[in-house]
Amino acid sequence: MLKSLKTILAGILAATLLVAIVASAYSAFAAKSTSTDLTTQNGQGNGQGNGTGTGTGTGTGTSVLDIPASDLSAEETAALLFMREEEKLARDVYNFLYTTWGQPTFQNIAASEQAHMDEIKVLLDRYGLADPALDAGQFTDANLQALYTQLTTQGALSLGDALKVGAAIEEIDILDLQTRLTQTDNADLQQVFTNLMNGSYNHLKSFASVLLTQTGETYQPQYLTAEQYQSIITSTTGNGNSSGGQGNGGQGNGGQGNGGQGQGQSAGAGIPQASITGATTVHGTVVSYDLTGMSITLDDGTALYVQLGNSRYNQSIGFAPQIGEGVTVYGFTGDQGLFSTITVTLDGTGQVYTFRTETGQPLWAGGNGKGNGGNH
């Protein structure tokens, strides 16, 4: 834009036109400033995009500081302190790997991790918690200190190893954030943790993509199950007025907001009906539950990962199966070969939880949301 402005100024000397150009530039700058305020989280995504992706969530455009504060439990306090340092671990390792290999991906994602650290710091300040973050490469948590040494040593071996280290960190982040989300009912913590998890989804896909491009090697998950990883890696995001959510496949409006360093949960889906041809009922025992899906062992001993959809919707209906609990699942195998749920019935209580309509429409689907667009 500056180059174009210089060209215009050099070629056109009329004072009135100069004033108009300056006014236009000022308006564009002001609009950009409004959409990139990390603290107030008022970013806007770009346009009414019809991209692929579910863009799930609520995306109200609300600042985390506009959400009423709640008393912190011991678990919630520990979660904030730990996640502040875990995001710092990612930033410090990526800065080290960028210095070692010069791969721009590390530098770009390190900047995003700094933004994640800043989001947690807002909550630390809100609740009067002492910041545990130390100098680069130093950690209050002994386990994170040991992990930093391990990961930087591994990442120094080759560029391929470095990219695998980056992907591993994002997998660990995702699992830790999923756990922390189950331990809090504070809306402000939920908003920030969900935003961080959506960022980790995108980072994981970036590292896997660069690994393939740079080395020809297809990344294999180190911590997530194959089903969880496949669900993340095959998802795509659209352009919409959202708050930085993660698409989970399917054509729809919403998904990742383009522009603005906003915080929070994405909005609006416009998800179409899925093809539920061949829908079937299976029965098994819950092995694990990660807010967006659950692993079950079928009665014949076969392992199956069941996709449930949006984590916030699942929480809103009170779905929280226990490990070892028997469940009856009615669902279908989608285009990506993953089993998607329509209903789940808990054996113990007989309670039925519905995730999609009989035509396959997700119940968490909504319109095009306006919210905190954030490319993380």
The pLDDT value recorded for residue 229 is 92
CB 195 within 8 A of CB 119: yes
Same domain, 124 and 178: yes
pLDDT tens figures, 223-272: 999 989 988 887 643 333 233 333 333 333 333 333 333 333 333 333 33
Same domain, 25 and 41: no
pTM above 0.75, yes or no: no
Q: Note whether residue 10 is domain-resident.
A: yes
Same domain, 66 and 159: yes
Same domain, 232 and 92: yes
Q: Note whether residue 197 is domain-resident.
A: yes
Closest CA to 291 of 272, 265, 314: 314
The pLDDT value recorded for residue 43 is 35
Same domain, 205 and 334: no
The pLDDT value recorded for residue 323 is 86
Same domain, 107 and 206: yes
The pLDDT value recorded for residue 12 is 40
Q: Note whether residue 361 is domain-resident.
A: no
Q: Note whether residue 359 is domain-resident.
A: no
Domain total in the chain: 3
The pLDDT value recorded for residue 146 is 95
E-strand ranges in the chain read 280-289, 293-298, 303-307, 326-333, 339-346, 352-354
The pLDDT value recorded for residue 252 is 35
Same domain, 203 and 302: no
Same domain, 148 and 244: yes
Same domain, 8 and 153: no
CB 133 within 8 A of CB 125: no
Q: Note whether residue 362 is domain-resident.
A: no
CB 92 within 8 A of CB 147: no
Residue 182: φ, ψ to 5°: -75, -15
| DSSP class per residue in 147-178 | HHHHHHHHHTS-HHHHHHHHHHHHHHHHHHHH
CA distance linking residue 233 with residue 203, whole number of Å: 10
- The residues of the chain scoring below 70 in pLDDT are 1-62, 235-277, 334-338, 365-376
Please, which residues have CB within 8 angstroms of residue 360's CB and are 6 or more apart in sequence?
A: 273, 274, 275, 276, 332, 342
Tokens, residue 224:
């997530």
Q: Note whether residue 360 is domain-resident.
A: no
Same domain, 261 and 295: no
Tell me the three state secondary structure of residue 252: coil
pLDDT tens figures, 24-60: 444 433 333 333 333 333 333 333 333 333 333 333 3
Provide the residue range defining the domain that includes 236: 37-272+368-376
